[in-house]
Amino acid sequence: MKVLSVVGARPNFVKIAPLMAEMRKHTGIRPLLVHTGQHYDLEMSDSFFQELGIPQPDINLEVGSASAARQVAQIIERLEPVLVAERPDIVVLVGDVNSTLAGALTAVKLGIRVAHVEAGLRSFDRTMPEEINRVLTDAISDLLFASEPSGVENLLKEGRPANQIFLVGNVMIDTLKTCLGRARQLEPLGDPEIGSENGSDPPAGFALVTLHRPSTVDNACVLRIVWQALEEIGKAIPIVFPVHPRTRKRLRDLGLELMGIAPPFARPNGIRLISPLSYLRFLHLESLATFVVTDSGGIQEETTVLGVPCLTVRENTERPITVTEGTNTLVGLDPERLKEEARQILCGKGKRGRAPALWDGQAAQRIVETLQQQLPAS
């Protein structure tokens, strides 16, 4: 069985790692990996492959940065001859980035079966680029692997056949459980910008922040009010903020980019901006944080399993189980709500959740077993 997987961005790498590891255990499976090059620099790509033990891609399409439409078009153009030459039994796609949609479109046009891992997640917000990618990919996939019950419900409502939908759990949590021990052994952190006054460990209590979505950082008014709320929170607890390259540019445009001006946590606003971190170093910080402020989808899931309160700066989430069962709270774009929820956490009233069913580190095993069961019937 030839299984060709397509990845292109950091969230993909975290999700594909356990799948590649599981497929390599089976002599009856020949896994191939295609990297589109959507994220191509060291922090965004190479370090993740090294830390997560992902084999070097069999093919790198080297697409690079571009507008969404151009990126999808270039991936289709470069991926098509690869699929024609390899003729895999199935193309496996993870997540909701441009590479995911492009891989699905290319495969289905060639009559190759498609499996989508993390299927059915819906924010019901069509202004989110990821939502369009999710909906379209699910519409043309043959096997749909859902990470939570809401995914199954959404797919059924959209008319997808029940016999193509499989609730398997969350592959991101497979990676977290595999890597958490190694991440916690990273001492000192190796980056004096993160450390406390002695330059090694982070302070005893700190908040971790990530912001990268266009709806958050590309709107100057929104970014400014979120920043002002973070400044207020930073007076009560130090903040560590690994900054996405696009976010850094937006902060610089607003005159808010302060990296490298003062010692760690020595500013009145308590915010320490640092460069993007590798997966293990970020996971280390995430596991130690008092709470996390984010607009990321995956971090909502990770904090739920880590038991760390998460304040999500979004009006919606495609991962509702992190709110109903996990540690996640949607604060929207309301700075007062963000500050109040942070105060509640600092008063010892942070949200306590639990890991959802099947978020047990065995999702990749269930997916590969299903692939083996389903493909012989094709």
* pLDDT recorded at residue 65: 82
Return the beta strands (E) in the chain as ranges: 2-7, 30-35, 59-60, 90-94, 113-117, 143-146, 165-167, 207-210, 239-242, 271-274, 291-294, 310-312, 328-330
CA atoms of 359 and 169, how far apart (whole Å): 5
Active site residue 35: no
Whether 199 and 107 share a structural domain: no
Q: Residue 250 sits in which domain range?
A: 180-346
Whether 123 and 185 share a structural domain: no
Whether 141 and 224 share a structural domain: no
- Comparing C-alpha atoms, which of 359, 297, 357 is closest to residue 328? 297
Tokens of 31: 């896994």
Whether 39 and 61 share a structural domain: yes
Whether 368 and 247 share a structural domain: no
Q: Is residue 210 part of a domain?
A: yes
Would you say 206 and 238 are in contact if contact means Cβ atoms under 8 Å apart? yes
For 61-120, the pLDDT digits (tens) are 999 888 899 999 999 999 999 999 999 999 999 999 999 999 999 999 999 999 999 999
* pLDDT recorded at residue 263: 43
Would you say 269 and 287 are in contact if contact means Cβ atoms under 8 Å apart? no
* pLDDT recorded at residue 45: 67
Would you say 341 and 148 are in contact if contact means Cβ atoms under 8 Å apart? no
Q: How many residues in the chain?
A: 378
Question: Mean pLDDT over all residues of the chain?
Answer: 90
Tokens of 343: 């105060």
DSSP designation for 117: E
Q: Is residue 191 part of a domain?
A: yes
Tokens of 247: 């976010």
Overall domain count for the chain: 2
* pLDDT recorded at residue 274: 85
Tokens of 342: 């942070």
CA atoms of 319 and 324, how far apart (whole Å): 10
Whether 158 and 205 share a structural domain: no
Confidence of residue 183 (pLDDT cuts 50, 70, 90): very high
For 308-359, the pLDDT digits (tens) are 999 999 999 999 999 999 999 999 999 999 999 999 999 999 899 999 999 9
* Residue that the structure tokens 């990470």 belong to: 147
Res 375 pLDDT > 70: yes
Catalytic residue among 26, 116, 212, 284: 212
Confidence of residue 40 (pLDDT cuts 50, 70, 90): low
Whether 242 and 323 share a structural domain: yes
Q: Is residue 57 part of a domain?
A: yes
Whether 113 and 261 share a structural domain: no
Q: Please give the C-alpha separations between residue 325 and each of 149, 174, 322, in angstroms, as whole numbers.
A: 12, 18, 6
Q: Is residue 302 part of a domain?
A: yes
Whether 342 and 367 share a structural domain: no
Q: Is residue 95 part of a domain?
A: yes
Tokens of 170: 């969350």
Q: Is residue 117 part of a domain?
A: yes
Whether 295 and 366 share a structural domain: no
* pLDDT recorded at residue 264: 44
- Comparing C-alpha atoms, which of 280, 314, 79, 69 is closest to residue 180? 280
Q: Is residue 175 part of a domain?
A: no
CA atoms of 102 and 327, how far apart (whole Å): 33
Whether 139 and 258 share a structural domain: no
CATH number at residue 191: 3.40.50.2000
DSSP designation for 65: S
Q: Is residue 352 part of a domain?
A: no
Tokens of 52: 């997560």
Whether 189 and 333 share a structural domain: yes
